[in-house]
Each structure stands twice: as structure tokens, then as C-alpha cells.
Structure 1
Amino acid sequence: EEPNAPPAKRAKQDSSRFNWASDAFIKRSVLSAKHTKVIEAVENYKLDLDTALDSVEQSGLNPWFPKKLWKAVLKDEYVELSEVLAMATTQHKPDTSRSVSNAFAEALESTNLIKPTPSKAIVDQVTWRRAWQGTADAINFAFADRGKELNRYEQHIQRQFDDNRPSFHQNVIQYDRAVRLLIGSRRDLLFDDFEHADIARFRTVYLLPTGIHFSLSDSSPAQPGTRSRNQVKERAKEVCRKFNRGECSGCDRIHSCWTCGESGHGGETCKKGRK
């Protein structure tokens, strides 16, 4: 071979020969305009994710959201709500972990090399809603015209919380996580496609007593004479839904905002909620 000969040209991959290519082409051709618009936006972001992320930060319009999670938002992938909640609950606390700033340290902040990503467990309806609203704000910032879709999904999950006892709520949280993992791995599903057969199946396995992933947070059988006392204790731990809607005339549930967690006002009048 000639010492200065140019390197052999790399063969271009033929995606049309992928085993799933023809079926995927047919499926995409029948997707709604709304689905297609999201796909096209994702494809545009993925052409240069770093530039897109930099543009988000430089816009001055982006909602407060964990920096490490913006990439998942732009790729329309699964977002870990516990990490969003951790930021939402600590955003007003000063960071004293580093007294001297430098470019290298700031670069490491966007990686996992310094310390594990902070997270705060989603344990009930209030913490789920706080984390979801922050996530929905970020998604709505990145993708036009998804507000109604995201609101419908929030209403769907809130309905699962509202219709079931607190001892059941961990199943709702697990159901939501499974649904969002599925949606984040597919391009043919949006958040308001919760009647799709693949998502409906999750309601069977997580939300029905016969489902393989169904469980109760308190599995011990109630002793005679303790049921009413347990019910009172459960109510005392619940955030009052009527109070948050401005409809409660007085009860033994917690009267605090399910958006910001503060007392004195409900979710309908919360100034920290989505505008």
C-alpha cells in the first residue's frame, strides 16, 4: 500500500435493511400530526444536543429544572421525578459545598463524577404533583403545543390518587413510573395516550388487586375495633383535596397546598403553581 494513500472510505449504513424498517415506516406514516411534530422536534434536537442544551440555558426563558435532566427532556425520554423533587425542595437552600468556583468544577456539575445525583422519594400525591409539574413545565418549554396533553396526563394520575385510599397510592406512583418509562422508550405514544392497550395493561398489573405488581403499604390485617381508629389516622395524614379546590368547610385532614406544600392556601390559588 502507498504510505500516503487516503484511508478507505467507510461504508454508509443502510437503515432500510434493518429488520424492523418496513414496519416502522408504515407505523410512522399513520401517526397523528401531533405525534409527528414531537418526533421531528426530537430529531432536530438530537442533531446537536450540546448546542440545544446551551441554547436552553442561554435563552433566559427556561423553567428551573435539574441541568442533568434537560437532555432527557429534549430527547423526549423518561425523567426521574425524584431528582426533580429534590431540586424543587432545596432550590432556596444556599449551596455551601464549594467555596471556590472554577471552570473544571463547574463542568463536573453536569456529570456524575463528583457525587450521586440528589433525589427525594415520591411518596404521595403531593410530592408526585410537585415533581410532575416541574417536569411538565420543562417538556412544555421544549415542545410547542403539548400543554393540553400534559394536563390530561396529570388529571389522569390525580384521578387515580383521588379515587383510592392512601394505602393504595404507592401503586399509583409505580403505575405512573411504568407508564412514563414506556412512553419515553417509544415514539408512537404521548402522555394522553393512556387508553392505549400497552398502557391500559399497566393499570391491570399495578392498580387491580389481582395484578402481579399490586401491593398495599400496610398489608397487615386490621384487628377488631381498630378499623375506625386507623381510618382517622389515615385521614389525618392526607392532604385535603376539597381544601385545595376551595370547597372544604372544615375537616381533620391536612389543609396545605398540594403544589408548594405550604399552609394557608390551596392549590387553586397557589402563586407558585403553573401560570
Structure 2
Amino acid sequence: EATGSSKKCVADETLYPWLTAEAISGTTLSDSLELTRKLIVNYTTDLKQAKWSLLSSKFVPDFPNDEWNNVLSGKSVNLDAVFSSSLSTATDNCTVESFREFEHLFGAAKPSKMIATHGDWVTTWGITSRAVMFAFPHREWELDPYHDYITGYFAAIHNNFHSKVLELDKSIRKYVGSIQDTELSDFNKFRYLETRHLHVGGKAILKSEWRSSDPCCNLNRNTCNLQASQCRYRHVCQICKGNHRKGDCPHKEGHT
């Protein structure tokens, strides 16, 4: 007879508020999203077994071991790790994972190189897409449009600011990987992220990259309504670059 201390406590799932919300909402996922959700639930029920089976397949694509966990769990893949792995020939820092009577030997892929260009991203996205579609074949119609979406921003934005496109990509994939009701092709849901990372007023934009070193003409005319931290131009004197307006400059004689 089991003692009180050895009994396993079982949670009352009827008290999970998210299940109640799902039951009364009446909201349904698209066929693609529902299939993705079901596959993720199936894979993560025993992630180790699912990964062992996948890596035992004769058709498994080359992909960093640690990132397979993210793929099967529906999480955001670390593209820098994929990129670094694609350039590496090292086989050290290996780890062994056991399943049943079998063992798999893996090389740990630490991102020693980072994606920095449009070309880097396109190459890495191709590798990642093949891995994702190996586990989720139906997602081809989601991943291909996303490639075109990000590539379009690379084409539209100056090379000096391609790092902002890379940050946008990371933010979108992190967002999609943390929820169940959005695909990478749902571009209308990413507008606020586009603003954050690509627009001049976006919070993720480093102000120093967008600000001019020139003095603010409006400030010197006493017509600028912006705070110094908000203005694109420096709030300094046009004559001596001091912290005052041109009209208050002690060196203004001889200047008009």
C-alpha cells in the first residue's frame, strides 16, 4: 500500500485558466498553425526520443545539434550558431547523449562567428529552413514568404543599417516562437517591431547613428521645440559650439 509520502500528486487541469479561456473563446487556429501546434506537442512530450529518432533518419539534414531542440520545440533558432557551425570544421568539445541502448556523439556548436551581411543571412536561412521543414514539412509556405520579406528589407535599406534588419529578424522569430497563434508569414502582426527596429523614432535605433553632428539651426533661431535628446541636430551654438544659442554667444561679434 502506498504511503502518503510516496503518492504522486496530480494537478487538477480543470483549474488551468488557459484551458477555460480556450474553451469559451471559440477561436480556432488555421490548419497550418493547428498542425504545427500538434507536432510540437507530440515532439516535446518526449523531446529526447523525438530528437533521437530524427537524428537516426537517413535523410536528416546537417544542422547544429543544440538547435534541433529549438526546431522541435517550435522555438526561435539561433542563426548565429547555425552560421558559425556551417563555417566550422572542428569536431572537438563533443558530448554524448544516450537513448535506450544507443549513443549519439555530438559536436557542440558555439557561435564563434556572427551573421553580419545580407549574404550571411540568406545562406543561414536556407540551412535553417531545410531543418525546420524536415520536422514541419507543411511550413514551406510560411518560410519561403518570410525569406522574401526579410530580403526585401535588406534591398530597401542602406548597407550601413543592415544590422537593424538582422535585429528585426531576431525579434520577429523570437515573438513567433513564444506563441502559438502566429506564423512568420503574418507580416501585419510585425508592424510595431518594424517601427522599433527600422524607423528613426524606433526605440531600438541607436540615436548616435541617426543624429547629425551639425548645430541645430532652429535652436539658434530660438524656434526649436524639441528637447536636446529628441532633436536630430546638436543643441549647441553655431559659432563656438558652446551650450547656448548663437544670439547669446560671447564670440558673436563679426558673425551674422
TM over 0.5: yes
Aligned position for 1:54: 52
Q: Does 1:20 align with 2:18?
A: yes
- How far apart are residue 191 of structure 1 and its match? 1.1
SS at match of 2:53: helix
Q: Is the 8 A contact 2:33 2:181 kept in 1?
A: yes
8 Å Cα contact 1:122/1:128 also seen in 2 = yes
Provide the C-alpha distance between the structure 2 equivalents of 1:28 and 1:46, rounded to a whole number of angstroms: 26
How does the TM-score come out when normalised to structure 1? Answer: 0.67
- C-alpha separation between the residues in 2 aligned to 1:210 and 1:102? 46
Matching of residue 201 in structure 1 with residue 192 in structure 2: yes
1:69 to 1:125, Cα distance in 2 relative to 1, 3 A: same
Partner of 2:122: 129
Q: Please give the TM-score of this superposition, normalised by the length of structure 2.
A: 0.72
Maintained 8 Å contact 1:149/1:192: yes
Residue 34 of structure 2 is aligned to residue 41 of structure 1: no
- Contact kept, 8 Å, 1:206 with 1:213, in 2: the verdict is yes
Q: How many aligned residue pairs are there?
A: 207
Per-residue CA shift, 1:120-142, capped at 9, x if unaligned? 21111111111111111110000
- Structure with the larger RCO, 1 or 2 (CA within 8 Å, 6+ apart): 1
Contact 2:164/2:197 (8 A) holds in 1: yes
Q: Which residue of 1 aligns with 2:171?
A: 178
Q: CA deviation at 1:164?
A: 0.8
Are the equivalent residues in 2 in contact too, given 1:35–1:190 (CA < 8 A)? yes
Question: Aligned match of 1:79 in 77, 80, 96?
Answer: 77
| Letter paired with 2:204 | H
Distance 1:162 1:45 in 2: 37
Which of 3, 7, 21 pairs up with 1:7?
Answer: 3
User: Which stretches in structure 1 are left out of the alignment for 5+ residues?
Assistant: 224-275
Q: Which has the larger radius of gyration?
A: 2
Picking from 142, 153, 164, the partner of 1:160 is 153
Which segment drifts farther, 207-216 or 169-178? 207-216
Corresponding residue to 1:211 among 199, 202, 213: 202
Three-state SS of the structure 1 residue aligned to 2:203 is: coil
Secondary structure of 2:200's match? coil
CA separation in 1, counterparts of 2:95 and 2:78?
29
Percent identity, please.
Answer: 27
8 Å Cα contact 1:149-1:191 kept in structure 2? yes
Larger strand share, 1 or 2: 2
In the alignment, the residues of structure 2 paired with residue 15 and residue 94 of structure 1 have an alpha-carbon distance, to the nearest angstrom, of 47
Q: Partners of 1:132 and 1:28 in 2: how far apart?
A: 35
